């Protein structure tokens, strides 16, 4: 017993949530160990990816001086509505996005996560990789006092454990904080390729003037065959990140293979020219929780807090996940610091973690958009109907057909009513409003 491995805090998972928690606690002087099952921090992580600097500012205020592993500042961003032969773009490119540091950057998790973990190491965190946490150590009253691992004599003790294990939340289930695996209706599968291109070629294809400009576009419609889901194209320093995601349930119901959907997307006549001659350097898939606020697991129990994907902290509508995870990790770390000061690691004390989240944008936003998955589930026609209508209407509007404009306007209305009745449109818009207003 005298040789048992003991720390002030244990963090499980080296993603944005776990590393943010570890950094926060280390800065306060807590002896912290971070246990990661991958070969390196980020080895099991995958995202498209845009990283928002407001979260970095809060977790690591001096991040700019630490040589961050970021790709391009996002200076051109928005949405594309993709039909089988057209695209309608709703994007903004602004000089205001060029401030330093930028509001957001594209990033590659294989580069960013190891850099982020190294910052934790530099602050005194012990990072152990290639190690899987298998369960929990408990005291005579059943309270968590540490973790078991797959290493020989690998038990680690601490009065506080922060779990950032990701969407496969087996440890969260062990604790009884989540009842079961997420059903396919509430999990999306995102597939992505990283395509290498010379830096100048990336800039030429996307109209960028140099390395201080970048594009981040979310795409709806034909990218997912009109089913609920999204696609994306992000520019990196010398390459392009491209991918798409759909709910697992839709993949099963429609007998779809994710890699075939991505291949079809890449061959779309609007998309293909951007990718010509690019070399595929990376391919991967990632599960994304879309549980919504109402189906989040409990976030704490005696000696434990949950953050990031393990807690369903994803706002897919606004492509926000890493920033939610980082802020949640920071708040879990702050709660752990207070728990040490008070020497109180009970669930009653740790519920302060949830209060912090409730006072922040994290739970406020998740609560506001908690019905979006249900909205898409109840309107599976939405993407195909309205994206294709918008493209057809724009084509009609922007071309001259030798007809009176009043007749053209009537024709545009008919383009809609052939797809959906006025009553159906009204019902869809009410459902959409409810989905966006909570």
Largest CA distance in the chain: 90
What angle, 0 to 180 degrees and rounded to 10, lies between the N-to-C axes of helices 16-27 and 322-342?
A: 40
* Residue 395 included in any domain: yes
- Domains held by the chain: number: 3
Contact 236, 194 (CB under 8 A): yes
Least confident interval from 81-90, 251-260, 394-403: 394-403
Residues in Cβ contact with 90 at an 8 Å cutoff, skipping those fewer than 6 apart: 78, 79, 80, 81
Q: Rounded to an integer, what distance in angstroms lies between the CA atom of residue 424 and that of residue 420?
A: 6
* Residue 136 included in any domain: yes
Full domain range(s) for residue 210: 184-289
Q: Rounded to an integer, what distance in angstroms lies between the CA atom of residue 223 and that of residue 394?
A: 19
pLDDT exceeds cutoff 90 at 401: no
* Residue 329 included in any domain: yes
Clarify whether residues 217 and 277 are in a common domain: yes
Q: Which residue has the higher pLDDT, 386 or 4?
A: 386
Please give the pLDDT value at position 48.
Answer: 57
Residues in Cβ contact with 253 at an 8 Å cutoff, skipping those fewer than 6 apart: none
State residue 136 phi and psi, 5-degree precision.
-125, 150
Q: What is the mean pLDDT of residues 16-40?
A: 96
Contact 231, 265 (CB under 8 A): yes
Clarify whether residues 333 and 345 are in a common domain: yes
Strands (E), 73-208: 76-82, 87-93, 104-106, 126-128, 133-138, 144-149, 156-157, 161-163, 187-196
Q: What is the mean pLDDT of residues 238-266?
A: 95
pLDDT in tens, 269-323: 999 999 999 999 999 898 999 888 889 999 999 999 999 999 999 998 888 999 9
Q: Which of 265, 289, 313 is the last residue of a domain?
A: 289
Please give the pLDDT value at position 330.
Answer: 99
Q: What is the mean pLDDT of residues 95-122?
A: 94
pLDDT in tens, 56-94: 999 999 999 999 999 999 999 999 999 999 999 999 999
Please give the pLDDT value at position 99.
Answer: 92
pLDDT in tens, 309-365: 999 999 988 889 999 999 999 999 999 999 999 999 999 999 999 999 999 999 999
Clarify whether residues 167 and 48 are in a common domain: yes
Token output for 332: 């879990």
* Residue 427 included in any domain: yes
* Residue 82 included in any domain: no
CATH number at residue 59: 3.50.50.60
Clarify whether residues 171 and 160 are in a common domain: yes
Q: Which of 233, 265, 289 is the last residue of a domain?
A: 289
Q: Considering the chain, what is the average pLDDT of its residues?
A: 94
Q: What is the mean pLDDT of residues 213-224?
A: 97
Q: Which of 289, 313, 342 is the last residue of a domain?
A: 289
238 closest CA partner among 115, 116, 106: 106
Confidence of residue 1 (pLDDT cuts 50, 70, 90): very low
Please give the pLDDT value at position 44.
Answer: 64
pLDDT in tens, 113-172: 999 999 999 999 999 999 999 999 999 999 999 999 999 999 999 999 999 999 889 999
Clarify whether residues 229 and 276 are in a common domain: yes
Clarify whether residues 416 and 395 are in a common domain: yes
Clarify whether residues 216 and 227 are in a common domain: yes
Clarify whether residues 38 and 137 are in a common domain: yes
What torsion, rounded to 10 degrees, do the Cα atoms 85, 88, 94, 100 define?
A: -60
Confidence of residue 108 (pLDDT cuts 50, 70, 90): very high
Ramachandran quadrant class, 187 (left: phi over 0; alpha: psi -120 to 50; beta: rest): beta
Q: Rounded to an integer, what distance in angstroms lies between the CA atom of residue 90 and that of residue 131?
A: 45
pLDDT in tens, 36-63: 998 888 766 666 589 999 999 999 999 9
- Global pTM value: 0.94
Output the CA angle 377-382-384, nearest 5 degrees. Answer: 125
Clarify whether residues 221 and 153 are in a common domain: no
* Residue 89 included in any domain: no
CATH number at residue 225: 3.30.9.90
* Residue 413 included in any domain: yes
* Residue 83 included in any domain: no
Percent of the chain with pLDDT over 70: 98
Clarify whether residues 324 and 232 are in a common domain: no
Clarify whether residues 422 and 306 are in a common domain: no
Q: What is the distance in angstroms between the CA of the first residue and the CA of the last residue of the chain?
A: 52
230 closest CA partner among 214, 216, 243, 249: 243
Q: Which residue has the tokens 């019905």?
A: 371
């Amino acid at each position: 017993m005298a040789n048992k491995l003991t720390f002030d805090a244990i963090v499980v998972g080296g993603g944005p949530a776990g590393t943010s928690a570890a950094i926060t606690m280390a800065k306060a002087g807590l002896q912290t160990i971070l246990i990661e099952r991958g070969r390196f921090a980020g080895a099991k992580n995958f995202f498209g990816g845009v990283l928002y600097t407001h979260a970095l500012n809060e977790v690591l205020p001096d991040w700019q001086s630490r040589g961050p592993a970021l790709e391009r500042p996002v200076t051109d961003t928005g949405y594309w509505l993709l039909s089988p032969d057209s695209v309608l773009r709703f994007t903004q490119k602004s000089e205001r996005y060029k401030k330093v540091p930028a509001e957001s950057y594209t990033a590659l998790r294989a580069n960013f996560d190891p850099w982020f973990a190294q910052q934790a190491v530099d602050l005194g965190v012990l990072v152990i990789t290639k190690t899987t946490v298998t369960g929990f150590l408990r005291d005579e009253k059943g309270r968590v006092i540490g973790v078991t691992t797959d290493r020989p004599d690998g038990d680690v003790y601490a009065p506080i454990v922060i779990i950032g294990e990701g969407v496969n939340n087996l440890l969260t289930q062990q604790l009884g904080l989540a009842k079961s695996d997420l059903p396919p209706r509430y999990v999306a599968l995102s597939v992505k390729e990283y395509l290498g291109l010379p830096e100048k070629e990336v800039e030429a294809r996307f109209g960028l003037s140099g390395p201080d400009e970048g594009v981040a576009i979310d795409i709806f419609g034909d990218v997912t065959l009109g089913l609920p889901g999204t696609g994306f194209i992000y520019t990196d320093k010398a390459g392009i990140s491209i991918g798409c995601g759909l709910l697992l349930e839709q993949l099963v119901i429609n007998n779809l293979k994710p890699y075939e959907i991505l291949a079809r997307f890449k061959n779309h006549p609007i998309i293909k020219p951007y990718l010509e001659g690019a070399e595929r350097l990376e391919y991967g898939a990632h599960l994304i929780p879309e549980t919504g606020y109402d189906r989040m697991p409990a976030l704490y129990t005696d000696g434990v807090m949950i953050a990031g994907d393990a807690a369903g902290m994803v706002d897919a509508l606004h492509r926000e996940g890493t920033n939610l995870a980082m802020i949640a990790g920071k708040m879990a770390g702050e709660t752990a610091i207070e728990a040490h000061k008070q020497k109180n690691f009970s669930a009653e004390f740790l519920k302060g973690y949830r209060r912090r989240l409730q006072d922040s944008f994290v739970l406020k936003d998740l609560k506001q958009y908690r019905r979006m998955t249900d909205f898409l589930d109840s309107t599976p026609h939405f993407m195909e109907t309205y994206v294709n209508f918008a493209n057809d209407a724009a084509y009609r509007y922007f071309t001259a057909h030798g007809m009176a404009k009043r007749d053209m306007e009537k024709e545009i209305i008919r383009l809609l009513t052939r797809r959906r009745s006025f009553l159906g449109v009204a019902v869809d818009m009410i459902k959409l409003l409810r989905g966006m207003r909570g």
